[in-house]
Chain A
Amino acid sequence: MDIAIRCRDLRKVYEGKPPVEAVRGLDLEVRTGECFGILGPNGAGKTTTVEILEGILQATGGEVEVLGLRWGRNDRALRERIGVSLQETRLADKLTVEETLELFGSFYKKGRPAAEVMAEVGLTEKRKSWVVKLSGGQRQRLAVACALVSDPDLLFLDEPTTGLDPQSRRQIWDLVRDLRRRGRTILLTTHYMDEAERLCDRVAVVDYGRVIALGTPSELIASLKGEHVVEFAVNGDGRMPAPQTLLDLPSVRSVRPESDGILLTVGEPHVAIPALLDRLGREGKTLSRLVTRHAGLEDVFVALTGRHLRDE
């Protein structure tokens, strides 16, 4: 299988007082043709990692190979073959969509015509609009379009939907899925678990500059040994059942106390829930809340770190 990105023991320390260790020995392998996600909370080192892979930052240590080439030796050739959308880039306000894309296209030997790229991201109608007049979602699609003008073998999308409204997020997702379907290799970072679940073939969960879990979204969720989550709370203060006493309920795999209730991962909700209700009834407790849902990457992150993705 072809490997698009390989990095071993990647390290990055930002000098300062005190120095900040943003990446602490990160290993990664992205296969050609897959959409690979780096999922982690803000400050986990995602952007630093991606900017090293994009050749913008220099690593403090470790080995990086992108499309079989190395930064520092084949820079120009590499830049011709990648497409980059940085986190929160504000393109020139008073150039039109078309002018922006023509400019970016001119930097590449095989730059694509602006019209083709505009059609691909659905901005043809806006071709004569100044960037400053575009909505947040349209600007983000233009940023992705700027990454696509090079017809890249490898596409980097850093936090492509951060700060967008739900409809714009869905448009970006459709765009990424479309690119994926047409065989492009994509590396995207996100701190939204739903985004990673929907878009990525494989996900690396990153925390404090290291990969703490790696696999397909379903593998990661399966690692919880329970595909469902049951959250509940009881009426009255301080009368929650002791968490560990719930572990012996049938089909319950793990128990976590939360600030506003208790969270169980279970294999079969239809077995676990009646048993739970029965137990609460015998103890004279009444439910104030009961929610069941499929487990997600958020639950994987919580199980691994004890924190939520968006606690920060």
Chain B
Amino acid sequence: MTGRHPYLLLVLARMRELMREPEVVFWVFIFPILLAVGLGVAFRNKPTDEIAVGVVAAAGSDRVAGALSPDHGFRVVTVSTEEAAKLLRLGKVALVVVPGTSYEYRYDPTRPDSVLARLKVHDALERAAGRGDPVEVRETLVTEPGARYIDFLIPGLLGMNIMSGGMWGVGFLLVDMRSRRLLKRLIATPMRRADFLGAIMTSRMILVFSEMALLLFFGWLVFHLVIQGSLFTITVLAALGAFVFAGLGLLVASRTARIETASGLMNLVMLPMFVCSGIFFSPDRFPAAVQPLIKALPLTALNDALRATILEGATLPSQSGRILLMLAWGLASFAVALKIFRWN
């Protein structure tokens, strides 16, 4: 007697195998952090850039340049007409001002920075010419954690990792075991199939919880992410997500004999969710006609729920619709998968 329960040894074996696989450690723990850092830096919220303005050298160009002072965020270059056209085309300046008895603004109305430059330049020039401001305004500046891109991104990355981890960690694993005849070997022993599947689920949960903790901790430490909801709610949602995607992974693996087929199937299942379910950008950008379809995807429900909890402090009862949708996906996948699963 080894004295230990087969379920525990199966979990232990699974965790050992995972930790001995450098790729797994990278994809599960390092990749999401790298993504968060990369995207968080690229899309960081920063004060509006200085506005580059080209002024065509002519009579009055000094007066124009003088009105657009660096103190108000302008950077002015005085150049020839041809040079100005070139700078505008290359995007080095947002707007070209041609001085004269009347001013001419040259800019591309489809470039947001040009439109902004036009407003600001016009305002500055009018004011320099003596326009008064009849209405008095007061400004309160607000830049709060919670509304930044990184705040949107971290719950999405968590959802993404739960999906791909579940699909690969269960689907790929089982197809690999089948193709090496290891599944067949295992069912020739008195091993309980419930122990086997339970151990796979357990190891998934351990992984999901560790990557969740890591990503949230990292977001808090580096990006000052503020978690509004309770950790308990987030944990329940992550576990539910792990359950759903383990079920889908099991379904994909239920009859597939070849690794290549399994990879193709899994990508086919995951790709629509990668694009539509709001990992990197909000699904609201898609046309209204497809919104019901997008809302029915399990990853959309998971991402929405994680975001609502982390960013807005939503509770479990307040999002019972999303939870029921995920439960339905998970139960249906498990039911079908276990019915058609081929052990040999």
Contacts and interface: CB of A to CB of B under 8 A. Distances in A.
Interface of A: 51, 54-57, 76, 79-80, 82, 84, 86-95, 99, 102-111, 113-114, 130, 146, 150
Given A57-B344, A90-B181, A99 B190 contact: no
B189 A107 contact: yes
11 contacts: A54-B188, A57-B344, A84-B189, A90-B180, A91-B185, A92-B13, A103-B13, A106-B2, A108-B189, A109-B190, A146-B185
B190 A79 contact: yes
Given A56-B187, A56-B344, A84-B185, A106 B6 contact: yes
Interface in B304-340: none
A82 B190 CA distance: 10
Chain A contact residues: helix, strand, loop or mixed = loop
A76 B189 CA distance: 8
B17 to A, nearest CB: 5
Contacts of B181: 86-90
B9 interface: yes
Chain B contact residues: helix, strand, loop or mixed = loop
A114 B5 CA distance: 15
Given A57-B344, A150-B189, 10 more contacts: A55-B188, A56-B188, A79-B190, A86-B184, A86-B185, A94-B21, A99-B13, A99-B16, A108-B189, A109-B190
Given A86-B185, A94-B20, A94-B21, A110 B1 contact: yes
Given A89-B181, A89-B182, A113-B2, A94 B9 contact: no
Interface of B: 1-2, 4-6, 9-10, 13, 16-17, 20-21, 180-182, 184-185, 187-191, 344
Given A103-B10, A114-B2, A92 B190 contact: no
Contacts of A106: 2, 4-6, 9
A89 B185 contact: yes
A89 B180 contact: yes
B1 A102 contact: no
Nearest to A113: B2
Contacts of A90: 180-182
Given A55-B188, A108-B190, A150-B189, A94 B17 contact: yes
A56 B2 CA distance: 26
Nearest to B14: A92
Contacts of B344: 51, 56-57
A271 to B, nearest CB: 52
A66 to B, nearest CB: 12
B185 A102 contact: no
Contacts of A146: 185
B13 A95 contact: yes
A104 B13 CA distance: 11
B2 A102 contact: yes
Contacts of B188: 54-56, 79, 82, 84, 86
B182 A107 contact: no
Contacts of A92: 13, 17, 182
A52 to B, nearest CB: 11
